[in-house]
Amino acid sequence: MDRASVLGIVSGFILLLWGMSNGGDLRMFWDFASVLITVGGTLTATLISYRLSTFLEVMSIAKNAFVWQEQDISETINTIVRFADKARREGLLALDQDADALDDPFLQKGIRLVVDGTTPELVRNILETELAFIAQRHKMGQSLFETMGAFAPAFGMVGTLIGLIQMLVNLDTPEAIGPGMATALVTTFYGSVLANLVFLPIANKLKNKSAAEIFRKEAIIEGVLSIQAGDNPRIVQEKLKSFVSPKKRSEIQMPSRLREVPGSEIPLDVR
C-alpha cells in the first residue's frame, strides 16, 4: 500500500471539507446538475479520446497509484551480484534452476536468455524492446488521467456558462437567479477539485512509479550483460551501484563467500 497517496487524498478532502464547513452549511456546495455536467462530461470526453478497453481499465490503472509496491533496487542488485558470483564459480548453466525461483519476470527472462547462449547484442535488444513496450503501457495510464485532469476544469467551465445563461435568461424571475448562480460556481469548483486533487496527482504518481521501475529494469539489463560477460562480482556490484543513491549504497552487500578470507567454503545463498 502506498501510504503517501492514500494520506494525500484523504487529508486533502478532509482539509477541503473543513474549510467548506467553516464558512457555513456544507449543503450549499452540493448541486446534482453540476455533478452530472462535470463528472459526466469528463468521463464521456475521455471515452471519446481512448479505446473502450483502455477506458474500462481506468480503475485497475488507478489502483497502481495506491497499491503498487515498487521493488527495492538494492535487493535486485544484491540478487544480480549473487548470480554473477555463482556464474563465475559454476558456469552460466548453473543459473538455470535459480532463475525459475525469481519473482521478477524481467530479470528471470534476462537470466534465461544468457543461460540459453543468446549473443549479448541480442540479449540487450530483446530486453530493451520489452522495456520500451512496458514504458509505453505505463504512459497510456498516465495519459488517461492527465486527459481527465484537463477535461474536468473545462467541463466545470461549461457548467459555469450554463449556469450564467440560466441566470441571465431569468433576470426577471429573482427565485431562478440563485439556482443558476449555484450551478455556475459549484460546477467550476467540482472541476478544479477533481483535476487538482484526484486526476493530476494520480497521473504524477503513476509517472514517478513508472520512472522508478524503468530505472530498475535498466540496472537489470546492465547486470545481466555483466553476468554474461563473466565480470567479477565486485566489478558487477560497483557498476550497478551507480544506479543507487549514495544513501542506499550501504544496503548493497557482497555475497558472504566473498566477504570471508580466501579459502573459506561458505555456500552461496541465492534467493
Report the pLDDT value the prediction gives residue 3, as an integer from 0 to 100.
77
Q: Where are the alpha helices (DSSP H) in 230-271?
A: 233-241, 256-259
Report the pLDDT value the prediction gives residue 197, as an integer from 0 to 100.
93
- Rounded Cα gap, residues 69 and 134, in angstroms: 16
- Rounded Cα gap, residues 171 and 159, in angstroms: 18
Q: How far is CA 157 from CA 64, 160, 162, in A?
A: 30, 5, 9
Q: Are the CB atoms for 259 and 82 separated by under 8 Å?
A: no
- Rounded Cα gap, residues 136 and 254, in angstroms: 35
Q: At what angle do helices 200-229 and 58-67 cross, to 10 degrees?
A: 70
Query: Rounded to 5, what percent of the chain is helix, strand, coil?
Result: 80, 0, 20
Q: At what angle do helices 200-229 and 73-90 cross, to 10 degrees?
A: 10
- Rounded Cα gap, residues 191 and 156, in angstroms: 5
Query: Tens-digit pLDDT profile for the chain (271 aa)?
Result: 677 888 888 898 898 888 888 877 788 888 888 899 999 999 999 999 998 888 887 777 777 777 766 677 888 898 999 999 999 889 899 898 888 888 889 999 999 999 999 899 999 999 999 999 999 888 988 999 999 999 999 999 998 888 888 777 777 777 767 666 777 788 999 999 999 999 999 999 989 888 989 999 999 999 999 999 998 888 998 888 888 877 777 767 666 555 543 433 333 443 3
Report the pLDDT value the prediction gives residue 198, as an integer from 0 to 100.
92
| SS3 per-residue string spanning the chain | CCHHHHHHHHHHHHHHHHHHHHCCCHHHHCCHHHHHHHHHHHHHHHHHHCCHHHHHCHHHHHHHHHHCCCCCHHHHHHHHHHHHHHHHHHCHHHHHHHHHCCCCHHHHHHHHHHHCCCCHHHHHHHHHHHHHHHHHHHHHHHHHHHHHHHHHHHHHHHHHHHHHHHHHHCCCCHHHHHHHHHHHHHHHHHHHHHHHHHHHHHHHHHHHHHHHHHHHHHHHHHHHHHHHHCCCHHHHHHHHHCCCCHHHHHHCCCCHHHHCCCCCCCCCCCC
- Which residue is listed with cell 538455470? 96
- As given in the structure block, the three cell numbers for residue 109 are 527472462
- Tallying the residues shown for the chain, one arrives at 271
Q: Are the CB atoms for 260 and 250 separated by under 8 Å?
A: no
Reduced to 3 states, what is the DSSP secondary structure of residue 2? coil
Report the pLDDT value the prediction gives residue 126, as an integer from 0 to 100.
96
Q: Are the CB atoms for 83 and 237 separated by under 8 Å?
A: no
Report the pLDDT value the prediction gives residue 71, as an integer from 0 to 100.
75
